[in-house]
Amino acid sequence: MIKTTVPISLWKSKIKLFNCRTQAIRLLNSSSKTAEDLNAEHNLHEFAKIAVKNIRNFSIIAHVDHGKSTLADRILELTGAISRNSGSQVLDNLQVERERGITVKAQTVSIFHKYRDDVYLLNLIDTPGHVDFSNEVSRSLAACDGVILLVDACHGVQAQTVANYHLAKARNLTVVPVLNKIDIKHANPAKVCKDLKSLFNIDPLDVLKVSAKLGIGVSEVLDRVVESIPPPQVDRNSPFRALLFDSWFDRYRGALNLMYLLNGKLQVGEEIQSLTTNKVYPVKSISILSPNEKEVNCVSAGQVALVACNMRNSKESIIGDTIHLKNQKCSVISTFKPQQPMVFAGIFPADQSKHVALRSAIDKLVLNDSAVTVKPDSSPALGQGWRLGFLGLLHMEVFCQRLQQEHGAEPIITAPSVTYRLLLKNPKMIKQLGKDIMEISNAALFPEPFNIKEYYEPLVKGTIMTPDQYLGQIISLCVERRGIQESSTNIDDDRMLIKYILPLSEIIVDFNDHLKSLSSGYASFNYEDYGYHLTNLVRLDVHLNGKLVDELSRIVHATKAKDVGKDIVAKLKDMIPRQMVQIAIQACVGSKVLARETIKAYRKDVTAKLYGGDVTRRMKLLRQQTEGKKKMRQIANIQVPHETFINVLKR
């Protein structure tokens, strides 16, 4: 074997060449970042002096899974806010967002973009696309002057696309239409542009075509944002005034508040005051998100800033509040009102010793999600807890998942319900309440029928977009859920838009799942509040051997009572263990039994081993056993395990 020796000088030259290549690749990958970072560093020193005409505030709005977060990633990479290998969905920093693949929390980022030899400050907000998080979209639009309307070039305009578009137009925001996923072979940009024209009267020539995944056309989107969206209409010469449009909790700094400045400027060390609570706070720090926090000493009107000022809880940090300087007169900024919750559920600690810890976790999470309402509640089976209001079922699921993941809580969640209104006729009850209308979401508090004059339930206006081949099945589903068709419109040759008035109680649990199943995933659904309307409600009670179990009662529509009753008793039969006595499970409305199941008692079969013995003696023993169980049933308490209540009550 011949050994060859490589000269040291040759090794050095190879290493030098390798280092040069590596450096060149790095420079190539981060060239835009370096240029933009220099701009950012230059502007951070004089951040408050950035001219208003060089500021653009905008959001990205779209239906679920149309590529909002991916487009935001490409924008951040293009402007140098993040490196090209930072990962996907950088702004989706919650664990629940990454697990579910959806955006549930609007995220704000301030970036710098160079356009025609001038540097612009872009305040971008990436918003959720699901209807249950429309409150995030509403509060985000309050701090914007325009939006990017993103539409999937494969699936086209969806139900939430329509809702978000009208939400933006209602605020007179400039809309920049963008088609995404044009790189996919099934994309049909021409057809989608035609839909945009027919639905929103958007000129196909104004629609930008991009691939957020590959980065195609993203720079043109930023240029269009600068050209089309106007600068904010603010006044820097008047006293400081700002809109608080987002907040979250930090372990060391308390409540951090994201503010959009409409007037004047704010510096570290000044004292600010809440118009709602009148409490005064010293400004400890001011930061911009790009997307990581970067501290600045001062911010001016038209800009978005993160302010730490010793706020401690959700009762002090109120979304939509107007913030001004201490002891200074100020008018309210009435640009945003939180949406009212539509779905309610009870949340209880698994162990009452964890009551305080769960309360603390809920308070911190409510600070980050202003759409959730909290009221104390109690249950004979589950103990002390709270009744929380949500915008929808997915909103509830995500909130509870965040409780577990971010705060280590283990809550018990009861079945979701809605709030009903009852018009009372009993003078005693009217005097006690101080009004003749009673709002109720807990069946245990449902008054007797003779006290009630009229029942009202919440309705929603649902918008369904579907290929026409599934129309018949979808109409049948809506009719089954007590829906009333309002309109039907042909979008194009093979797609339809239908609107239904539906009871909220019929859609909150599994309506969307059934819709997706019937349409092979092609139909989309969105809904909005339609007020309260007259209906016919009953309280469905559950009896075990004739004894009422209050915590299992439910409020249902009269026509659905029998079906719901059958489901409950069948579920209880499987969950309640057999005991020494027979258990009769009955679902009743008043004194009328609608459904019944029976759990057989344990017994020793004394006739099983008869091999020619005296049968009369055996039958005598069996009769004695029967009489004993009959007597036991009269005085015995049925032992229902705690887990049974949990499994029946929770969704």
Measured CA to CA, the distance from residue 94 to residue 86 in angstroms comes to 16
129 annotated as belonging to a binding site for a ligand: yes
**Within its chain, how far is the Cα of 122 from the centroid?**
26
β-strand partners of 299: 266
CA distance 123 to 281: 26
Q: Tokens 């449009």 belong to which residue?
A: 245
Judge if the upstream peptide bond of residue 380 is cis by omega within 30 degrees of 0: no
Q: Is 63 annotated as a binding residue?
A: yes
Secondary structure of residue 594 in the 3-state scheme: strand
Asked if residue 231 lies in contact with residue 53, where contact means CB atoms within 8 angstroms, the answer is yes
- Residue 424 CA to residue 437 CA, distance in Å, equals 6
Phi-psi region of 590 (alpha: psi -120 to 50; beta: other; left: phi over 0): left
Which tokens belong to 504? 């909220």
- DSSP secondary structure letters along 388-420: EEESSHHHHHHHHHHHHHHH---EEEBPPB--E
The DSSP secondary-structure symbol of 46 reads: T
Q: Which residue blocks in 177-228 are alpha helix, DSSP H?
A: 189-200, 218-228
14 annotated as a binding-site residue? no
Helix (H, G, I), strand (E, B) or coil at 272: strand
- By CB neighbour count within 10 A (0-12 exposed, 13-18 middle, 19+ buried), where does 17 fall? exposed
Task: Report yes or no: 647 and 574 within 8 Å, Cβ to Cβ.
Answer: no
β-partners of residue 414 are 650
* CA distances from residue 464 to 85, 381, 479, 507 in whole angstroms, order as listed: 39, 40, 14, 13
Does 68 belong to an annotated binding site?
yes
Compute φ and ψ for 297, nearest 5 degrees: -90, -25
Q: Is 235 annotated as a binding residue?
A: no
Contact by Cβ (8 Å): 62, 149: yes
Pairing outcome for strands 484-490 and 495-503: antiparallel
Provide the 8-state DSSP code for 129.
-
**What is the three-class DSSP state of 383?**
strand
SS3 of 623-642: the string is HHHHHHHHHHHHHCCCCCCH
Helix ranges, 305-461 (H): 355-368, 393-407, 427-433
Is 66 annotated to bind a ligand? Reply is yes
Burial class (CB in 10 A: 0-12, 13-18, 19+), 647: middle
3-state DSSP assignment of residue 496: strand
- Using DSSP's 3-state secondary structure scheme, residue 527 falls into strand
- Determine whether the annotation assigns residue 69 to a binding site: yes
Q: Identify the three-state secondary structure at position 603.
A: coil
183 marked among binding-site residues? yes
What is the rounded CA–CA span in Å between residue 557 and residue 459?
A: 13
The C-alpha R_g of the chain, in whole angstroms, comes to: 31
Residue 64 marked as a ligand binder: yes
Annotated binding site: 62-69, 126-130, 180-183
Annotated binding site for GTP: 62-69, 126-130, 180-183
